[in-house]
Structures are given as C-alpha cells and as structure tokens.
Amino acid sequence: MENLKNIAVLASGNGSNFQAIADAIKKGKLKAHLKLLISDNPQAYCIQRAATAKVKAFIVDRRDSINKKDFEEQIILKLKSEKIDLIVLAGFMRLLSGEFIRKYRGRILNMHPSLLPAFKGAHAIKDAFDYGAKVSGVTVHFVDEETDHGPIILQEPLEIKAGWGLKELEKNIHGLEHKIYPRAISLFLKGRLRLEGREVKILKP
C-alpha cells in the first residue's frame, strides 16, 4: 500500500484553496491524505467545506486562548496527534510565531496573491489594483520568520486586462491559485523541492 503523506490546511475564511486541494486529491492529481483543517474562525465557510469533504476540522478560537503561545500550542498538539507532514496555509489570517515556524521549517507552504516581493500583506489584490499594475499573479513559497518573504517555489503571472474591475481581478487571481497550489504541493510530496539557502531548486522527476 502506498505510503501517503498527511496534510493539514490552516484557513480562516472561505476556503476555496482548501477545496482546490481536496478536489485535486479526489481526482488523483495529488497523492496525499488531507487529514485536517484547522481554523481560527468558528464561523468560517471552510469548516463546512471540510465537513462535505469528510475532513476533520479543528477550531482554535484565538479569543479563547490565554495568549499566542497557548493558541499555537493547541495547534501543535493537534498537528502531532494527526502525524502531519505538511502544513498548507490557505488564507490563514494569523501570523505564526518564529518558534512555530522554526519547529516546522521547510514544511509550511503559503499562497500569496501577488508576484512577491511585490504587494506583500493581507490586501495584495486590492493593492495591485489600486496601484494600476498591468501584471500581477500568484506565488507559492515556504514560510519563514518574515511576512510573505520565504523561499519561492512557484510563481504564475497574470496580465490585468483593460476594463477589469476589482472583482474580475480577484476571480482570475483565485483561479490561478487553485491551479498552482496543488502543483506546488505535489512537488513537495514527490520530494522534488530542495531548499538551498533562500533558493528552491526543483528536481527533475
């Protein structure tokens, strides 16, 4: 029997990237166990998506935690109990501490809706739109101690067409995310990503 790795997705909102990952696994495009969704938002729609996909959901409400350390320790205990190999951030709106990141260095991926290092932060799509950028895109990267900064795995550009409103840009950016994130996760699962300092080398199959 194939020895599949265990994935946990951390999300705070709609969970469309969670859905893209779940769909890729269901279609056989990703060979992994999607074992766990962790959310800090009890009202998040991603929790309903997890229920539909028959994936365990673990809710850690920051307001119920004594402090950030307590909040993260609850998450770490759950990751350990489920034997998680890879953590996938998908719209998780809490910054992880340096201690947490060091514990899982090289095993945390993040999707950012711009071509990093351009337009870092929580409002990247709107920032690119307001700036009048002609090209934006998406970036999958390893997470390090700095925000939207870790070694880049994959990037995909998107030409911003004349006449697009913010909603059209958001829709097209999210569509790119749903294609590129499963691809990057697959590279990790196949052992084809090698971290060399700040650079990621993609090994041939």
> Can 178 be counted among the known catalytic residues?
no
Q: Is the C-alpha dihedral spanning 135, 198, 185, 147 positive or negative?
A: negative
Q: Which of 33, 112, 123, 149 is catalytic?
A: 112
Helices (H), 55-205: 68-81, 98-103, 124-131, 166-189
For 179: left if phi > 0, alpha if psi spans -120 to 50, otherwise beta; the answer is alpha
| CA distances (Å), origin 69, targets 55, 57, 91, 167 | 26, 21, 21, 37
Residues with Cβ < 8 Å from 78, sequence gap 6 or more? 8, 36, 38, 58, 60
For 132: left if phi > 0, alpha if psi spans -120 to 50, otherwise beta; the answer is left
Catalytically annotated residues: 112
